[in-house]
Amino acid sequence: MDTFILHEDPCSGNCYKIRLTAALLGLPIERRFYDIRKGETRTPEFLREVNANGRIPVLQIGEGAAARFLPESNAACWYLAEGSALIPDNRFDRADMLRWMFFEQYNHEPNVATLRFWLSIVGEGDLSDAQRGQIAAKRAGGEAALALMDEHLASRDWFAGDRASLADIALYAYTHVGEEGGFRLSDYPAVRAWLDRIAALPRYVPMD
């Protein structure tokens, strides 16, 4: 089996998704740490050898000359999980899983994750005026995403199909630390119950 190396910053929920997927699948994964606040993913070496987009996470598959690099957290989770129970075997459910993963990157992450980064990691006092001007819109967008998730989970245990899939992992990563972005999870009881179901999965690992 190929060696898996995760290029990551432990404060990133996008990185955690990949680590959680590997853990649930019982796949060993080596970790290489970068501090995004110090620009460690924007060095010429990182841009040349790991990801020209200057972002983490990147899943490295294999080592040396044969190494291949896969950016985008949800694509990396897909690579690891292909052929496993974390991807539904029904065609509609599989596409529906991808639907929630695209929703996560478009409607959820830019709001829920960004407010956590701005408010808990950068700190409100260090934000630019442009960032401060976006807080209200991101708050509204994040609440709308959480409300849609809560409505969906009111009548089902998992996002797609009838068991945990990559859609649940993708949405779990930033939702379960949503309070760090100022989101009150007690407003979303079905989401809270679903978070508990994920944390109870065999081989679950917490975020650092």
| Residues contacting its own copies: total by CB under 8 A | 36
30 pairs with which residues across the strands?
A: 5
| Whole-number Å distance between alpha carbons of 67 and 89 | 29
Residue from 30, 151, 162, 208 in contact with its own copies (CB under 8 A): 151
* Site for its own copies contains 3 (CB under 8 A): no
SS3 category, 60: strand
Residue from 1, 26, 82, 206 in contact with its own copies (CB under 8 A): 82
The token pair at 206 is 């917490």
DSSP string over 104-134: IIIIIIIIIIHHHIIIIIIIGGG--HHHHTT
* Site for its own copies contains 140 (CB under 8 A): no
Using the contact rule CB under 8 A, the part of the chain among 33-41, 92-100, 114-122, 185-193 near its own copies is 92-100
Distance between start and end Cα atoms, the chain: 26
Q: Check if the beta carbon of residue 198 is closer than 8 Å to that of residue 168.
A: yes
Task: Print the binding letters for residues 107-136 with its own copies: x by CB under 8 A, - otherwise.
Answer: x-xx-------------------x--xx--
Q: Where do contacts with its own copies occur on this chain (CB under 8 A)? A: 52-53, 61, 68, 70-76, 78-79, 82, 91-92, 94-96, 98-99, 101-103, 105-107, 109-110, 130, 133-134, 137, 148, 151-152
